Amino acid sequence: MQALRRKDILGLEEMSAEEITLVLDTARSMREIIQRKIKKVPTLRGRTVLNLFYEPSTRTKASFELAQKYMSADSVSVAGTSSSLVKGETLKDTVRNVEVMGVECVIMRHPVSGAAHYLARSIEASVINAGDGMHEHPTQGLLDMFTIWEKKGRIEGLKVVIVGDVRHSRVARSNIWGLKKMGARVVISGPPTLMPPDRAELGVDYCPVVEEAVEGADVIMALRLQKERQESGLFPSLREYAELYGLNARRLAGANEDLLIMHPGPVNRGIEISSELADGPHSVILEQVTSGVAVRMALLYLLLGGVKEE
Amino acid sequence: MALIHKATVMDEKAMQQALRRIAHEIIEHNKGTENLVLVGVRRRGVPLARRLQAYLNEIENTSIPLGILDITLYRDDLTQRTDQPEVRTTDVPFSLENKDVVLVDDVLYTGRTIRSALDALMDLGRPATIQLAVLVDRGHRELPIRADFVGKNIPTSKTELVEVRVTEFDDAEQVDILENSVQ
């Protein structure tokens, strides 16, 4: 397959294995550009991108902005708190206004699940979902898969364990959809209160004991534990969580020798993962960040490079 | 519309002779190969560059570096094409700084590919010189670009297609002229 025949990237649930492979292949070529001294290609000269972040973000936003710069696209970034959203303007109105200014692609992070789908239906410009509520974060899922693929040479047949608050995690959701399509086996682990109610539909196994879940694992992904979940009573204390589910060297004894340890960031050191592991030889947490720029360059090229067939 | 084979203008032997002659010309022009590197333009410039490299190495008893250039991201027609070209990886694992670069491609036609390749090369470093070697120059330039080393000049009409076939990608090693026929 040569081209991505879609306007938007909203979630991995609706993408095929073939499309995902095209993105990963293209990202591999983009990674070479990031390693150059002059990190810039003229490909998207004169194309305009809007970054619309209604939720705080450091690495996703920086990563998208760098990808746009490396591809020579022009971009404008608007943060939710400084925009007219606080003046009561609807999302659709905000973006329509920007669209008539000539924006061809909107990157959006929004606290409401489905916001990116709504936006994509409302405007002609391409939309890339940079995280919508508890639904999906497709570019994170793609960059995680790219990291695994680069390190392992394949995704098919691998055992991937996701540990933590899967229920509220759009990162986990995108990874599960993507990894399953690419032929990996996905196991989730963590307290039962933080497991997704639609586990069967997602097609993942649940193993409550981390030590058992990681038996023979090729990849372990720790999720960020959001402290506000404790306030809503889903787990008793951070200390107890760390004690029972926190990743540390002792707990991972049963995993494979060439295990990869991943985390989407930002890391709560000593809670979901020990510093020893996060900085250790199995950790690819920083590679994930580099992969992020390459994957986002690939998506920008695939959506904006060339003319879409009418 | 179908493509009809009109003529085979170079066979395997002619290609070998042309590339061997180019190798000698490169050595003569650069007074040796000391500062020389080769860069093949994807796709068919790459196997041709490999063949040139083998001749140069053999003649001068040396080992000349060879890089691979993908120019997709530098094309000037990305906003005009509906078939999005596939991006492949550029692989130039050595510095171009102050080198004499011989850029290798199969066919020189409008000059637009070479324009893209020059931009791509400049982003990788600042060579001392860039020279262009092509197996076939078929004319019809749209930009002020010329080749330093030419295997064969083949006058063509714009409705014709020059196809360089190499064993790495095709089932033969030869150069054909094809023509679009309207049925």
Q: Do B90 and A26 touch (CB under 8 A)?
A: no
Q: Do B123 and A41 touch (CB under 8 A)?
A: yes
Q: What angle do CA B8, B14, B15 make, to 5 degrees?
A: 90
Cα(A231)–Cα(A215) distance, integer angstroms: 32
Which residues of B lie inside 8 Å of A (Cβ-Cβ)?
70, 73-74, 78-91, 119-120, 123-125
Rounded percentage of chain A residues whose pLDDT exceeds 70: 95
pLDDT digits (tens, 9 = 90+) for A100-159: 888 999 999 999 999 999 999 989 999 999 999 999 999 999 999 999 999 999 999 999
Cα(A47)–Cα(A78) distance, integer angstroms: 17
Q: What angle do CA A64, A67, A71 make, to 5 degrees?
A: 140
**A106 phi and psi angles, rounded to 5 deg:** -115, 125
* Residue from the list A36, A37, A301 with its beta carbon closest to the beta carbon of B87: A301
Q: Which amino acid is at B45?
A: G
pLDDT for A254: 87
C-alpha B145 chain-centroid distance: 13
pLDDT for A87: 65
Q: Do A38 and B73 touch (CB under 8 A)?
A: no
Q: Which helix (H) or strand (E) holds B29?
A: helix B12-30
Asked if A161 contacts A213 with a C-beta cutoff of 8 angstroms, the reply is yes
Mean pLDDT of A274-288: 96
In sequence order, what are the beta bridge partners of A265? Answer: none
Residue B153: pLDDT band (50, 70, 90) is: very high
Cα(A210)–Cα(A302) distance, integer angstroms: 39
Residue B77 DSSP class: -
Whether the complex's predicted ipTM is more than 0.90 is answered with: no
pLDDT for B103: 98
Distances (CA, A) of B88 to A59, A104, B31, B91: 27, 25, 34, 10
Q: Is A227 an 8 Å CB contact of chain B?
A: no
Which residue in the block uniquely carries the two structure tokens 């990849």? A219
* Residue from the list A32, A36, A306 with its beta carbon closest to the beta carbon of B89: A32
Does B84 have pLDDT greater than 80? no
Residue A37: pLDDT band (50, 70, 90) is: confident
Cα(A192)–Cα(B133) distance, integer angstroms: 66
* Residue from the list A26, A40, A42 with its beta carbon closest to the beta carbon of B87: A26
Chain A contacts of B74, Cβ < 8 Å?
Answer: 41-43
Q: Do A29 and B119 touch (CB under 8 A)?
A: no
pLDDT digits (tens, 9 = 90+) for A201-256: 999 999 999 999 999 999 999 999 987 777 778 888 889 999 999 999 999 988 89
* Residue from the list A4, A25, A38 with its beta carbon closest to the beta carbon of B123: A38
Does A85 have pLDDT greater than 80? no
Cα(B88)–Cα(A28) distance, integer angstroms: 8
Cα(B147)–Cα(B29) distance, integer angstroms: 13
In sequence order, what are the beta bridge partners of A139? Answer: none
DSSP string, B34-61: TTEEEEEETTTHHHHHHHHHHHHHHHHT
Chain A contacts of B119, Cβ < 8 Å?
Answer: 42
Chain B contacts of A42, Cβ < 8 Å?
Answer: 73-74, 119
Residue A86: pLDDT band (50, 70, 90) is: low
Q: Work out the burial of residue B23: count CB atoms within 10 Å of its CB; fewer than 13 is exposed, 13-18 middle, 19 or more buried.
A: buried
Helix (H, G, I), strand (E, B) or coil at A221: strand
Number of H helices, E strands in chain B: 3, 8
* Residue from the list A30, A42, A309 with its beta carbon closest to the beta carbon of B74: A42
Task: Quote the minimal CA–CA distance from A13 to chain B in Å.
Answer: 24
Cα(B164)–Cα(A38) distance, integer angstroms: 33
Helix (H, G, I), strand (E, B) or coil at A242: helix
Does A287 have pLDDT greater than 60? yes
Q: How many CB pairs under 8 A join A and B?
A: 59
Q: Do A307 and B87 touch (CB under 8 A)?
A: no
Residue B124: pLDDT band (50, 70, 90) is: very high
Residue B79: pLDDT band (50, 70, 90) is: low
Mean pLDDT of A30-51: 92
Does A309 have pLDDT greater than 50? no
* Best CA proximity match to A177, nearest among A293, A56, A9: A9
Which of A43, A47, A297 to mutate: most B Cβ within 10 Å? A43
Does A76 have pLDDT greater than 70? yes
Task: Quote the minimal CA–CA distance from B109 to chain A in Å.
Answer: 22
pLDDT for A310: 41
Does B102 have pLDDT greater than 90? yes
Q: What is the mean pLDDT of chain A?
A: 92
What domains does chain B contain, in order, with CATH numbers?
A: 2-74+88-181 (3.40.50.2020)
The interaxial angle of helices A91-99 and A115-122, nearest 10 deg, is 40
Q: Where are the alpha helices (DSSP H) in chain A?
A: 17-34, 59-70, 91-99, 115-122, 138-152, 170-181, 199-202, 210-213, 228-231, 238-245, 275-278, 285-304
Helix (H, G, I), strand (E, B) or coil at A244: helix
Higher pLDDT, A85 or B152: B152
